[in-house]
């Protein structure tokens, strides 16, 4: 994308080509670039240059212009609508870590400096063309989706269509679901059609200044719904909390870094890795079985150093979903967080886990489950969230997994919730092991005592004696259900020293041929 010196060309036709392409370059749009930078934002080409390895980006369709020949001269369109506001091509990402067979990615970016990054007739056509290339190349797609949605000013297209409802962009992009990894990066305003591109993607990485919504202020006002500033429509903080945004970052620099890290899990194994002292795992579960703890300390200790990338961290915080590496090998991870609802699995947590399991299954990533589940959430309030249907998603997805699931019980493994964390049954996982802190039961111990020994407890009228009886019964049930006792029934495979967790995972990953689960027919991913 660098400008060629005139004396290097030697031919008039080459000079014409480079003169024509010069309108694409940021240095020839100084006022627009300055305006962009004044808002703390980067240009589309700056983001692509940061994402792709040096001089590796090959651009497709750079010479198209907006379909507005009926309004403006060709020269005006060349100057004002370069590439019709959509930059597309193929580049190398993470080439320092993966060879050329793995590092190529398709990159698309709406250019907000061209008609507010709107979707024009010809850039729709270019998107469709890139989807064809993606099908053939079978490479990840990284899509910078900022923009205002459909463009009503393309008058040339009005001669051929009344509403442009026959375009194929959205269906062609959606057809790639589960076939190639698709990453949306959003900064600034992203509305309507641009937001649909983001929503159809496997993952949405967004900056704190993002506004993401299915209709921008003009559409909202046009529908008689009131006047709103763009920042009021789908602000990032809200969309992160409700689960729309998977990864929330400070700015575009961090967004590009997150995109590079995310795509790396689909590019293969890393040869070089380090990990922390595994003996430290012995002390990360509190001795008091009622105390909550920070499960991220366990995740970061088990995983290779700096290999954890959490998804949807603002949503359903009782369920952790993340990518990790073990000895350089990429995996998915689900884990219960006892700091939220005690780790109980509610409707949102069920959806979050099920969708993430689909994602891992689609692209052949084994799943590590760290179980500390007191069960599925219960109660009238919970049932108002359609818990019966939502919780069942974990069983449906678990039963259809082609990738291996590896389950480690950290502490509680109670009832249906624990079964769901293991793919539907403790024997459904390739292995199910427990730390010595593990507890097993058909339901929570305290609830089991209150329910199963109600008559005995009610018969004891002295409050102190009743409490003593209750504690005795809970203790007896704990002795029966603690890992060392439960292991004798072969309900799970082994009780292990926490320091051996990585060893078990490594043995499993090296025992199962990758082709048995990676070369499978592709399935589409649920958007939710």
What is the pLDDT, as a whole number, of residue 255?
98
Dump the DSSP string for 104-124: EEEEEEE-TTTGGG-B-HHHH
- Which has more confidence, 105 or 517? 105
| Whether pLDDT at 110 is above 70 | yes
The three-class DSSP label of residue 15 is helix
pLDDT tier at 47 (50, 70, 90 boundaries)?
very high
Instruction: Report, in this order, helix, strand and coil percent for the chain, each rounded to 5.
Output: 45, 20, 40
Of 219 and 142, which is predicted with more confidence? 142
Residue of 310, 365, 423, 368 lying closest to 178 (CA atoms)? 365
pLDDT tens sequence across 51-68: 999 999 999 999 999 999
Kindly report the CA angle at 183 between 178 and 186, in degrees rounded to 5? 145
Taking the C-alpha atoms of residue 206 and residue 143, their distance in angstroms, rounded to an integer, is 12
Which residues are CB-neighbours of 164 under 8 A, at least 6 positions away?
A: 121, 124, 150, 157
CATH code of domain 278-438+482-518: 3.90.226.10
The model's pLDDT over 74-103, given as tens digits with 9 standing for 90+, comes to 999 999 999 999 999 999 999 999 988 889
Q: Give the three-class secondary structure for 203.
A: strand
Question: Would you state the structure tokens that stand for residue 362, as one six-digit string?
Answer: 């689609």
pTM of this structure: 0.93
Of 74, 134, 68, nearest to 107 (Cα)?
A: 134
Q: What is the pLDDT of residue 4?
A: 46
pLDDT band per the 50, 70, 90 thresholds, residue 217: confident
pLDDT digits (tens, 9 = 90+) for 301-353: 999 999 999 999 999 999 999 999 999 999 999 999 999 999 999 999 999 99
The CATH code belonging to domain 11-264 is 3.90.226.10
- DSSP states along 251-304: SHHHHHHHHHHHHHTTS---S------GGGGGGSS-SSTT----HHHHHHHHSP
Q: What is the pLDDT of residue 158?
A: 67
Q: What is the pLDDT of residues 412-449, one digit of tens each?
A: 999 999 999 999 999 999 999 999 999 998 877 777 77
Task: Note the pLDDT of residue 1.
Answer: 42
Q: Is 390 helix (H, G, I), strand (E, B) or coil?
A: helix
Query: Looking at the predicted structure, is the pLDDT value of residue 11 above 90?
Result: no
Q: How confident is the model at residue 163 (pLDDT cuts 50, 70, 90)?
A: low
Report yes or no: 203 and 211 within 8 Å, Cβ to Cβ.
no
Q: CA torsion angle for 408, 439, 289, 496 (degrees, to 10)?
A: -40
Summarize the confidence of residues 469-480 as an average pLDDT: 82
Domain ranges of the chain: 11-264, 278-438+482-518, 443-481
Q: Which residues contact 58 (CB under 8 A, 6 or more apart)?
A: 89, 90, 91
Residue 118 predicted with pLDDT over 50: yes
Residue 60's H or E segment, with its range, is strand 58-60
CB atoms within 10 A of CB 364: 17
| Rounded Cα gap, residues 444 and 449, in angstroms | 9
């Amino acid at each position: 994308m660098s400008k060629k010196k005139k004396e290097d060309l030697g031919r008039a036709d080459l000079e014409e080509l480079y003169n024509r392409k010069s309108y694409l370059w940021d240095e020839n749009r100084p006022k627009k670039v300055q305006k962009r930078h004044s808002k703390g934002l980067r240009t589309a080409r700056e983001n692509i240059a940061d994402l792709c390895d040096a001089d590796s980006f090959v651009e497709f369709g750079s010479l198209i212009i907006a379909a507005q020949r009926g309004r403006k001269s060709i020269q005006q369109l060349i100057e004002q609508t370069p590439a019709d506001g959509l930059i597309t091509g193929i580049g190398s990402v993470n080439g320092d870590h993966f060879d050329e067979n793995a590092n190529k990615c398709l990159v698309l970016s709406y250019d907000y400096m061209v008609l507010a990054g709107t979707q024009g007739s010809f850039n729709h056509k270019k998107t469709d063309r890139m989807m064809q290339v993606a099908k053939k190349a079978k490479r990840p797609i990284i899509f910078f989706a900022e923009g205002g949605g459909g463009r009503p000013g393309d008058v040339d297209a009005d001669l051929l269509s009344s509403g442009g409802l026959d375009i194929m962009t959205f269906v062609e992009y959606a057809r790639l679901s589960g076939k190639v990894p698709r990453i949306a990066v959003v900064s600034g305003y992203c509305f309507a059609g641009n937001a649909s591109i983001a929503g159809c993607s496997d993952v949405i990485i967004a900056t704190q200044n993002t506004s993401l919504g299915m209709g921008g202020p003009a559409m909202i006002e046009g529908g008689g719904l009131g006047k709103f500033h763009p920042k009021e429509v789908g602000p990032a903080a809200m969309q992160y909390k409700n689960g729309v945004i998977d990864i929330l970052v400070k700015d575009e620099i961090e967004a590009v870094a997150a995109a590079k890290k995310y795509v790396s899990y689909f590019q293969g194994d890393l040869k070089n890795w380090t990990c922390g002292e595994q003996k430290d795992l012995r002390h990360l579960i509190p001795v008091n079985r009622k105390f909550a703890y920070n499960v991220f300390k366990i995740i970061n200790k088990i995983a290779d150093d700096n290999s954890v990338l959490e998804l949807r961290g603002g949503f359903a915080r009782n369920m952790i979903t993340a990518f990790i590496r073990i000895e350089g090998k990429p995996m998915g991870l689900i884990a219960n967080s006892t700091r939220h609802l005690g780790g109980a699995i509610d409707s949102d947590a069920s959806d979050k886990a099920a969708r993430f399991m689909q994602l891992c299954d689609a692209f052949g990533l084994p799943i590590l489950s760290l179980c500390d589940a007191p069960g599925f959430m219960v109660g009238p309030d919970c049932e108002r969230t359609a818990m019966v249907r939502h919780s069942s998603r974990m069983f449906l997805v678990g039963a259809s997994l082609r990738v291996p699931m590896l389950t480690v019980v950290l502490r509680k493994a109670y009832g249906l919730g624990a079964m769901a964390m293991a793919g539907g049954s403790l024997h459904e996982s390739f292995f199910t092991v427990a730390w010595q802190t593990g507890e097993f039961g058909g339901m929570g111990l305290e609830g089991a005592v209150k329910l199963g020994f109600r008559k005995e407890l009610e018969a004891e009228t002295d409050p102190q004696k009743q409490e003593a009886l209750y504690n005795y019964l809970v203790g007896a049930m704990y002795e029966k259900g603690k890992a060392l006792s439960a292991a004798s029934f072969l309900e799970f495979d082994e009780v292990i020293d926490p320091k051996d967790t990585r060893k078990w995972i490594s043995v499993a990953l090296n025992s199962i041929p990758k082709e048995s689960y990676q070369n499978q027919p592709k399935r589409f991913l649920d958007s939710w």
